[in-house]
Amino acid sequence: MVRVFLFAVAFATVVTQLDVGLAAAQETDEASACDSRAAKLLRADAKRATQWNWGWGATYLGAAIGQSGVAMWTDDEDLKVSLFTGAAKASLGVLNQIIFPKRIYAPNTDCSDLAERIAEAREVERKGHNWLAHGTVIAANVAGFAIVAGITENYVLATSGTIVGSLVGEFAIYTSPNRLRAAGLGVEDLKLVPQVSSKYSGLLLQGSF
């Protein structure tokens, strides 16, 4: 009877220690995940995405209004066509920022959704730098060249507008959020490793960061 009682006490002690250990391991895992390079890059890109959306939206809007204003003021018909075409391209940029903003979200407080958020962010970054993004810039500016050259037959003016528009579009792509891709970090780089010690047991988030 005494042996059974002692065994029960010992078993209860082990279970209690295991619960405490698992709780400590969970806190350690959360801290490790939230302090990881992956989490820091994700937070930085989430902040950059917001800044990029508003910054480039305001830039395109200013360009559209400015070029339209100058076009209405000038008496040079060729320049007027070029400026209105540039304003139209800038307006497309504004619409792009409104309809297709970069949406990157920071992980929650315990970073339990870190892998999911990284996957989402990597997809946003991939789309923001893929061939379609560059192709859209090229297509818009080639169309602008065709309009200006076709109406004015001023190929120098048409070419200059195309070059400026292309450089602005490519710079917008270059400055868009890309920290996770640049670091070569994705969900496949994260893994959970079992951790067992005299104090606790649990899972630790590890990866190449």
Distance between CA atoms of residues 182 and 45, nearest Å: 11
Quick one: pLDDT band at residue 198, thresholds 50, 70, 90? low
What CA dihedral angle connects 179, 183, 186 and 189, to 10 degrees?
A: -150
- CA-to-CA separations, 101 to 69, 124, 165, in angstroms, rounded: 27, 10, 20
Distance between CA atoms of residues 121 and 39, nearest Å: 11
Going by C-alpha positions, the residue among 33, 6, 4, 42 that lies closest to residue 179 is 42
Quick one: pLDDT band at residue 164, thresholds 50, 70, 90? very high
Q: Output phi, psi for 198, to 5 deg.
A: -70, -20
> Which domain covers residue 158, as residue numbers?
2-207
Per-residue confidence (pLDDT) for residue 185, from 0 to 100: 63
DSSP secondary structure code for residue 184 in this structure = T
Question: In the predicted model, is pLDDT for residue 2 greater than 70?
Answer: no
Tally of residues, the chain: 209
- Domain total for the chain? 1
51-108, pLDDT tens digit by residue?
A: 999 999 999 999 999 999 999 999 999 999 999 999 999 999 999 999 999 999 999 8
107-153, pLDDT tens digit by residue?
A: 988 888 888 999 999 999 999 999 999 999 999 999 999 999 999 99
